[in-house]
Amino acid sequence: MQFARINDVTIHYQLIGGPADKPVIVFSNSLGTDFRIWRDVIVRLAGDFAIVLYDKRGHGLSDVGQVPCTIEDHASDLAGLLDMLSVKQAIICGLSVGGLIAQSLYQRRPDLVRALILCDTAHKIGTAEAWNTRIAAIRENGIASITDGIMARWFTSAFRRPENIAYAGYCNMLERQPVEGYIATCEAVRDADFTEAAAKIAVPTICVVGDQDGSTPPDLVLSLARLIPDARYEVIKDAGHIPCVEQPEALTSVIRAFIEFAMHGDKGS
């Protein structure tokens, strides 16, 4: 395991080496998960690209850090990690809150970003009322009290079968996140709004969404794609909010095709 001290926060990360003539792909994971959600995508990309994975503050094996925190704090953590690793001009693939972090990183440190893969995310996610209701429920009854509702947004009904052992594992992943870290990230998402910033994105970008995403539905992700000049848009069939778990092969194909376009194609759709 690899750890770094960034902004007085211990960050758990993994660096997988790859060809020097290919861009580095950086994966930023969703709320309530750690970087293991990318495993089945990573195994299909390893060897062809260098890869950086990390647990954002408040998740996985990383520190919670000071609370409250903002999406900008999360982006600063990622920028510090990439600076430490001497990574520039990376392909940033962010899922859900990871997509907000990716947008903030581009806004703050465009030198680090060659292209954006914004997966199951938006310029603004949810309402203050909805986030405050979730936070209050967790403070009163813990993360496990919201598991069923969250899983219905994360995964399709086909994945949520009782006999699917993996489903139980992802329930465990959610419930074992640090409560204060989860709540702090909920607050950060609640307060983030990149509606105006999205129009200023000037690197190749693709917005990807599962067709059954209950957290950031396809219409919301499409609205983000329409805000970003020349952004591409792709729907992954038979997937909820976390297509890297349900449809890793399809998502990997989208990522490969987009990187080929970003490296060699003219900007535009």
Structure confidence by residue, pLDDT tens digits, 57-107: 999 999 999 999 999 999 999 999 999 999 999 999 999 999 999 999 999
242: phi > 0 → left, psi -120 to 50 → alpha, else beta; which? beta
Q: φ, ψ for residue 241 (rounded to 5)?
A: -80, -15
* Percent of the chain clearing pLDDT 90 (strictly above): 97
What is the residue-averaged pLDDT of the chain? 97
Helix (H, G, I), strand (E, B) or coil at 51: strand
Query: Tokens standing for 252?
Result: 């990997």
Is residue 6 a contact partner of residue 81, using CB atoms and an 8 Å limit?
yes
**Can you list the pairs that 145-153 forms with residues at least 24 positions away whose Cβ atoms lie under 8 Å?**
147/171, 147/174, 147/175, 150/32, 150/174, 152/214, 153/213, 153/214, 153/215, 153/240, 153/241
DSSP character for 120? S
Average pLDDT for residues 127-156, to the nearest whole number?
97
- Do the strands 51-54 and 25-28 form a parallel or antiparallel pair, or are they unpaired? parallel
Residue 264's pLDDT is what? 87
Query: What's the CA gap between 243 and 213, in Å, rounded?
Result: 9
Predicted confidence band of residue 267 (pLDDT cuts 50, 70, 90): very low
Q: How is 54-84 classified by DSSP, letter by letter?
A: EPPTTSTTS---SSS--HHHHHHHHHHHHHH
Average pLDDT for residues 38-58, to the nearest whole number?
98
CATH fold group of domain 2-264: Rossmann fold (3.40.50)
Residue 268's pLDDT is what? 42
Structure confidence by residue, pLDDT tens digits, 193-236: 999 999 999 999 999 999 999 999 999 999 999 999 999 999 99
